[in-house]
């Protein structure tokens, strides 16, 4: 492709999205650029504080448990309080708790604050995804989720490299740096992002009020909960790239630097291919994409059983990274598609919960299987899980509606006779019309 063709493709990849999305995207990138705790917590506890690996694992588990607790809580807050207040509370709490974590020294205090950090940092995810669905047109959502996922990985790749140098100088500087970056995210949201939560229609003479949506509504939604279950299986597979793979490579005699070289392929491919692959898949059948990505993930990890060199490990990583690139925006878009308009926060919270629980179970799963049966059984299990997930998507996605109910709601459509110079909505109003005009 020529340079002009690449420029045109880049413009088409980012055009048509409302400015509210780009401010939300910017806050995501800033947040991931400041990531430090999740990456270096274990090293901080063992090298800086002299704690045992068992204690470091306990703290990591409590950090993950905090994320499990806040997944549902953050979703409920996003629906009740609004997306913007939830993000401000979550990110402000994260900034304060991360800073405190850098100063506390007592083992019990460290464990307690780590739990709070995990809870606060994860509470913003349902609100971010719900706000993105609110402000982006249905036909652009897969592209928007893909761009957001790209920002997450780009920021994490840069922060991981930078944080390594910061850690050599001062772990405290890393904690304070993350606190400052998270606070900047909160400021960006406060200054630039209006509230996007749709207003519930009130009862009229000829139309009853819209029914309340509770967590019970989510749990009774059979198709959606089945998708959450499949998401959990997919998450268990992908988590093995960071928990099972280093264990297996270590057992085979490879060094930590060998693992670092191999897993770096994952980040490089996501940054390089996420946007062009999304351009190829964004208007294709989501059922086929989810089936293909599930099989690629399962058998990509399954091929690891035959890896005997860093190069072969890198090839297997290429396979399941492609699955990750396809699955991430497609599955998030599906969650929005199956979510009722006024329950997006709760539905996104339940979806986030599937990944949080998988993050807790995956290390135990990989450790037990490798210790008792060997790494080949772990990779075989991944292949089975991918097959089950692919079959599940095939069964559940039959008869998927062409568009979700809220996309057909005339109340959300811009008025046909609205003049081009119509004023921008106030911060407390829905930005839906502005999003559609700018698109």
Are residue 162 and residue 189 in the same domain, yes or no? yes
Distance (Å, rounded) from C-alpha 243 to C-alpha 99? 27
Are residue 367 and residue 243 in the same domain, yes or no? yes
| Residue 80: count of CB within 10 angstroms of its CB | 12
Q: How many helices (H) and strands (E) does the chain have?
A: 18, 0
Residue 344 lies in a domain: yes
Contact (CB, 8 A) for 29 and 159: no
Residue 429 lies in a domain: no
So what's the pLDDT on residue 169?
80
Are residue 194 and residue 228 in the same domain, yes or no? no
Are residue 127 and residue 193 in the same domain, yes or no? yes
So what's the pLDDT on residue 427?
38
Contact (CB, 8 A) for 134 and 431: yes
Distance (Å, rounded) from C-alpha 385 to C-alpha 238? 11
C-alpha distances out from residue 312 to 267, 318, 382, Å: 17, 10, 18
Distance (Å, rounded) from C-alpha 280 to C-alpha 2? 18
The residue out of 166, 198, 230 marking a domain boundary is 198
Are residue 184 and residue 222 in the same domain, yes or no? no
Are residue 285 and residue 321 in the same domain, yes or no? yes
The residue out of 140, 169, 198 marking a domain boundary is 198
Residue 437 lies in a domain: no
Are residue 165 and residue 284 in the same domain, yes or no? no
The ranges of the chain with pLDDT < 70 are 1-13, 39, 163-164, 200-211, 399-439
Distance (Å, rounded) from C-alpha 199 to C-alpha 278? 32
Residue 310 lies in a domain: yes
Task: Please tell me the total count of domains within the chain.
Answer: 2
Are residue 166 and residue 279 in the same domain, yes or no? no
Q: Which residue segment(s) compose the domain that 183 sits in?
A: 17-198
Terminal alpha carbon distance of the chain: 27
Q: What is the CATH number of the domain that holds 187?
A: 1.20.1250.20
Residue 405 lies in a domain: no
Is the Cα torsion angle 410, 413, 417, 421 positive or negative in sign?
A: positive
Residue 135 lies in a domain: yes
Are residue 316 and residue 190 in the same domain, yes or no? no
Query: From the centroid of its chain, how far is CA 277?
Result: 18
> Who contacts 326 (Cβ-Cβ below 8 Å, separation ≥6)?
277, 281, 289, 292, 293, 296
Are residue 258 and residue 380 in the same domain, yes or no? yes
pLDDT tens column, 42-83: 778 887 888 887 788 788 888 888 988 898 899 999 999 999
Are residue 74 and residue 128 in the same domain, yes or no? yes
Are residue 166 and residue 228 in the same domain, yes or no? no
Residue 339 lies in a domain: yes
Residue 194 lies in a domain: yes
The residue out of 198, 228, 263 marking a domain boundary is 198
């Amino acid at each position: 492709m020529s340079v002009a063709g690449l420029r045109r493709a880049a413009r088409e990849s980012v055009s048509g999205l409302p400015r509210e999305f780009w401010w939300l995207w910017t806050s995501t990138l800033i947040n991931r650029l400041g990531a430090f705790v999740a990456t270096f917590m274990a090293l901080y506890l063992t090298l800086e504080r002299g704690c045992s690996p068992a204690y470091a694992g306990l703290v990591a588990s409590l950090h993950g448990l905090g994320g499990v607790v806040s997944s549902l809580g953050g979703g409920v807050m996003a629906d009740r309080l609004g997306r913007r207040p939830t993000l401000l509370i979550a990110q402000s709490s994260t900034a304060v708790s991360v800073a405190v974590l850098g100063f506390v020294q007592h083992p019990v205090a460290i464990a307690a604050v780590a739990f709070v950090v995990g809870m606060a940092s994860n509470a913003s995810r349902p609100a971010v995804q719900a706000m993105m669905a609110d402000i982006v047109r249905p036909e652009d959502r897969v592209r928007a989720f893909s761009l957001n996922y790209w920002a997450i990985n780009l920021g994490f790749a840069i922060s991981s490299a930078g944080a390594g140098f910061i850690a050599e100088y001062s772990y405290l500087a890393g904690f304070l740096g993350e606190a400052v970056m998270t606070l900047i995210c909160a400021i960006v949201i406060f200054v630039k992002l209006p509230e996007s939560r749709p207003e519930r229609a009130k009862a009229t003479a000829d139309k009853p009020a819209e029914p309340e949506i509770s967590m019970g509504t989510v749990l009774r939604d059979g198709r959606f909960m089945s998708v959450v279950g499949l998401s959990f299986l997919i998450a268990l597979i992908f988590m093995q790239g960071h928990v099972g793979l280093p264990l297996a490579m270590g057992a085979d005699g490879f060094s930590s630097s060998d693992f670092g070289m191999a897993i770096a392929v994952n980040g490089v491919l996501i940054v390089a291919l996420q946007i062009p692959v999304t351009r190829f898949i964004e208007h294709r059948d989501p059922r086929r994409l989810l089936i293909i990505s599930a099989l690629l993930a399962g058998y990509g990890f399954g091929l690891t059983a035959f890896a005997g060199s860093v190069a072969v490990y890198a090839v297997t990583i290429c396979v399941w990274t492609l699955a990750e690139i396809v699955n991430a925006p497609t599955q998030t878009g599906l969650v929005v598609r199956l979510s009722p308009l006024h329950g997006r926060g709760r539905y996104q919270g339940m979806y986030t919960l599937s990944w949080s629980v998988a993050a807790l179970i995956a290390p135990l799963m990989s450790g037990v299987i490798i210790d008792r049966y060997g790494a080949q059984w772990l990779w075989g299990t991944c292949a089975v899980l991918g097959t089950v997930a692919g079959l599940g998507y095939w069964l559940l996605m039959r008869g998927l509606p062409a568009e979700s109910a809220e996309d057909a709601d005339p109340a959300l459509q811009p008025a046909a006779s609205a003049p081009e110079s119509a004023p921008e909505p106030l911060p407390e109003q829905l930005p839906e019309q502005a999003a559609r005009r700018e698109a």
